Amino acid sequence: MELALVRFLAQSFGVAFTASPRPALTFFAVQAVVAVVARIGWVVVSPGLAWLISVPALIVAFVMAGLEIAARHDEEIDELLRDLKIAHLLGVFGTFSGCLVFAALGLPEDEALGLVDDGAAQDVGLAMSLAAASEHPEAAQYGVVGGAMVVNGGVTYARGHILEFLATFDLDKQWHRIETGGAIGVLTLIIWLPVLALVVVVLMGVALAVIAVAVKAAESWMDQRGRRPCPTCSTEIRKEASLCFQCSAVVEPEVVLGSTMSNRWKRLFAALRRQPA
């Protein structure tokens, strides 16, 4: 049962791995975990993909991950990698991460059978395409893998150029540290956006209803404070009123709106002006 849940999680996060902004590091992490669990004997990786967790592959991935991290923290290494056009090609590692995760943990039974039926287990990329579309013709399956690699490479290439452009504004390196979390987060978050939208609507509705009740209570209290007795019938009328709603008597408003000062202040200033110096 745990394996089924792990498989479910692996499939859920598989797409996010391929879009990781640190593809080499992500690949190395996936590779290391799979290598350890394969060595313990918890999983068996098919021979077509076993080379991905071989010692040379681990060393290569470790070096690439190290270069990737170094490039993020050292401008000279970053420039060297860019000059060698390596920096923009790291994105294809994301495809391999997806392959390995699908193959080791998330490869569904039908697709696993497809590997054998098509006799194409030796091809690394096919693990990905078969997992995604085993019922499709072989050409389409190759197309899926090719597409995945092109998309990964293209995204990383475009991102590299954008980062180069942004680097001219002397941005802080700290943004890089949360890239991976953000990328994975948003890809998993998108599924939950309708729920989030509904939660926002409901919460806003409840909060606004509470505020409306509070405002109404406050207005009612303020309304009582802003009253005076009518000179004719003693009914409590508003201070701004020029007419009593009970006896229809015309009264002088105690508070006049639309001017900067209330009558009370006007009277005060008038009294002050009348005082001898």
- Where do we find the tokens 């997806």? 98
Instruction: Based on the shown chain and the rule CB under 8 A, indicate whether residue 55 belongs to the binding site for other proteins.
Output: no
Query: Coil, helix or strand for 270?
Result: helix
Nearer to other proteins, 84 or 222 (CB): 222
Where does this chain touch other proteins (CB under 8 A) — which range of 59-67, 90-98, 110-118, 123-131? Answer: 110-118
The neighbour count for residue 208, using CB atoms within 10 Å, is: 10
Rounded to whole angstroms, the Cα distance separating 213 from 217 reads 6
CA 109 to centroid of chain Cα atoms: 32
Binding residue (CB under 8 A) for other proteins from 177, 264, 266, 267: 177
Encoding tokens for residue 85? Answer: 């056009």
Rounded to whole angstroms, the Cα distance separating 257 from 167 reads 58
Nearer to other proteins, 92 or 230 (CB): 230
Binding residue (CB under 8 A) for other proteins from 63, 140, 150, 200: 200
Instruction: Based on the shown chain and the rule CB under 8 A, indicate whether residue 236 belongs to the binding site for other proteins.
Output: no
Instruction: Based on the shown chain and the rule CB under 8 A, indicate whether residue 176 belongs to the binding site for other proteins.
Output: yes
Q: Which residue in 69, 130, 71, 72 sits closest to 98, CA to CA?
A: 130
List of residues 6+ apart from 138 with CB closer than 8 A: 118, 120
Binding residue (CB under 8 A) for other proteins from 63, 140, 150, 211: 211
Nearer to other proteins, 125 or 160 (CB): 160
Instruction: Based on the shown chain and the rule CB under 8 A, indicate whether residue 127 belongs to the binding site for other proteins.
Output: no
Instruction: Based on the shown chain and the rule CB under 8 A, indicate whether residue 183 belongs to the binding site for other proteins.
Output: yes
Binding residue (CB under 8 A) for other proteins from 193, 217, 261, 268: 193
Rounded to whole angstroms, the Cα distance separating 35 from 55 reads 9
Instruction: Based on the shown chain and the rule CB under 8 A, indicate whether residue 197 belongs to the binding site for other proteins.
Output: yes
Binding residue (CB under 8 A) for other proteins from 36, 59, 135, 205: 205
Instruction: Based on the shown chain and the rule CB under 8 A, indicate whether residue 194 belongs to the binding site for other proteins.
Output: yes
Encoding tokens for residue 114? Answer: 């497809």
Least distance to other proteins, CB of residue 238, Å:
4
Instruction: Based on the shown chain and the rule CB under 8 A, indicate whether residue 169 belongs to the binding site for other proteins.
Output: yes
Binding residue (CB under 8 A) for other proteins from 33, 133, 256, 262: 256
Instruction: Based on the shown chain and the rule CB under 8 A, indicate whether residue 81 belongs to the binding site for other proteins.
Output: no
Encoding tokens for residue 103? Answer: 């193959």
List of residues 6+ apart from 143 with CB closer than 8 A: 129
Rounded to whole angstroms, the Cα distance separating 273 from 230 reads 30
The neighbour count for residue 236, using CB atoms within 10 Å, is: 12
Encoding tokens for residue 266? Answer: 């006007």
Where does this chain touch other proteins (CB under 8 A) — which range of 51-59, 92-100, 146-154, 254-262? Answer: 254-262
Rounded to whole angstroms, the Cα distance separating 82 from 77 reads 8
Nearer to other proteins, 44 or 59 (CB): 44
Nearer to other proteins, 136 or 176 (CB): 176
Nearer to other proteins, 83 or 109 (CB): 109
